[in-house]
Structure 1
Amino acid sequence: MTISPVYSGRPDTLREPVEQRVYELLDALHIPYQRVDHEPAYDMDACAGISEALGITICKNLLLTPRNRSAFYLLAMPADLPFRTADFSKKIGSSRLSFASPEDLQALLGVQPGSASVLGLMNDTEHRVTLALERRVAEAEWFGCHPCRNTSSLRLKTTDLLHVFLPHIGVEPIIVDL
């Protein structure tokens, strides 16, 4: 995979509207971030080189829902941690969860499959998605994710995410130990 150098801040060229809105909000909130551009990264294997370039670990982001779609959970967890649906469901007191559909990703977070991101919660204006952060992600110094498009990746301080970004969009995460 070809990865650009690490840049500070937004790209010079116009991007897809969903990605552009991420940069505009981060800049408006005075949240500094570093960015790399790359080929589409659809899975965590593709993110390994990206993580290395940014000096962090891009976290795994999963949009989950019970069969009746009565609730939605965006789980951000360490990339190397195996995901067990039953364990997470038990931790949050939910019936068995499965992956949300591509249509749900688009409707709730404004993203396509492979681009799920905590930053996409800015598009969930009805607050239908509950954010669950695995404790190691919540306590890490740096947070890595896509800016709602899987052709760029960002590194920002986790404290900026938790204490500036999420409060601004009205999201209070739950912290889970997996």
Structure 2
Amino acid sequence: MNISNISDQLYTTAPDKTGRLPKEMAVYSLLDELSIPYERVDHAVTETMEACENIDMLLDVSMCKNLFLRNRQKTAFYLLMMPGKKKFKTKDVSKQLGTSRLSFAEAEYMEQYLNITPGSVSVLGLMNDSNHAVHLVIDKELLDNEYIGCHPCINTSSLKIRTEDILNIFLKHTGHTWTTVD
């Protein structure tokens, strides 16, 4: 992805709703309601961590890799947040969680539980999981970062948010707890 596909403008407010999906605008509304500050940049669709490298530089944050996973029986669902450059090792994470081998959850479950489509998975999607069907799992390395980079439930914008605001305000509001893995 070329830097020309990214706006060089950083914003600290929600965009005008024209041309924006309601689920994206709901994220900004909730962040504002919770008084969680953020920086935002708009860009072309990003579907890979490699495509986020220029966004990382502009926001001065490393975008999180967010994986939506499920157990073999499709009865337990997990949102794994980890550093973007870190390799996901299914066997290791499954063992730490004490569950059957994890695999990627199908798009229908992303939409059902988080109102998110593939490529847009984000911790912010937990605002749509009112039944707490999704277990949040955070790689311990992320907890050392001052900021988290994530999408506002759509992969045409990216946000930089203080890690402590996600953990102590956002997750408290949604009622989600998390498990730490390495």
TM-score past 0.5 threshold: yes
Q: Aligned-pair distance for 1:9?
A: 1.8
2:179 and 2:170 mapped to 1: Cα distance? 15
1:6 paired residue among 4, 7, 10: 10
Sequence identity percentage: 49
Give the SS at the match of 2:92.
helix
The Cα offsets for residues 43-77 of structure 1, whole Å up to 9 and x where unpaired, read as: 10111111111001000000100121110010000
Structure 1 residue 13, shift from structure 2 partner? 3.6
Partner Cα separation in structure 2 for residue 116 and residue 25 of structure 1: 17
Q: Distance in 2 between matches of 1:155 and 1:171?
A: 20
TM-score of the aligned structures, taking structure 2 as reference length: 0.95
Aligned 8 A contact 2:17 2:25 in 1: no
Gaps of 5+ in 1: none
The structure 2 residue matched to 1:137, chosen from 116, 136, 142, is 142
Runs of 4+ in 1 over 2 A off after TM superposition: none
- C-alpha separation in 1, matches of 2:30 and 2:136: 19
Give me the whole-angstrom Cα distance separating, in 1, the residues matched to 2:28 and 2:56: 20
Query: Aligned-pair RMSD on alpha carbons?
Result: 0.8
Quote the residue 1:153 is aligned against. 158
**Equivalent in the alignment of 2:57:** 52
1:108 aligned onto 2:113: yes
The amino acid that maps onto 2:124 is L
Query: For residues 66-104 of structure 1, what are the alpha-carbon distances to aligned partners after superposition, in whole Å with 9 as ceiling and x for unaligned?
Result: 121110010000011111111110111110010000101
* Equivalent residue in structure 2 for 1:26, among 31, 56, 62: 31
How much has 1:38 moved relative to structure 2?
0.3
Structure 1 residue 165: Cα displacement: 0.4
Question: Does the 8 Å CA contact 2:78/2:135 hold for their aligned counterparts?
Answer: yes
Q: Among residues 66, 74, 84, which one is paired with 2:71 in the alignment?
A: 66
Look up the equivalent residue of 2:50 and give its one-letter code.
D
Give the Å deviation of 1:12. 2.5
- Structure 2: gaps (5+ residues): none
Which residue in the other structure is 1:85 paired with?
90
Counterpart of 1:176 in structure 2 is 181
- AA in 1 matched with 2:125: G
- Distance in 1 (CA, whole Å) between partners of 2:89 and 2:14 is 35
The residue that corresponds to 2:126 in the other structure is: 121
Count of residue pairs the alignment pairs up = 177
Distance 1:143 1:9 in 2: 17
Please report how far the alpha carbon of residue 138 of structure 1 lies from its aligned counterpart in structure 2 after TM superposition: 1.9
> Helix, strand or coil for the counterpart of 2:41?
strand
- Cα drift, residue 117 of structure 1: 0.3
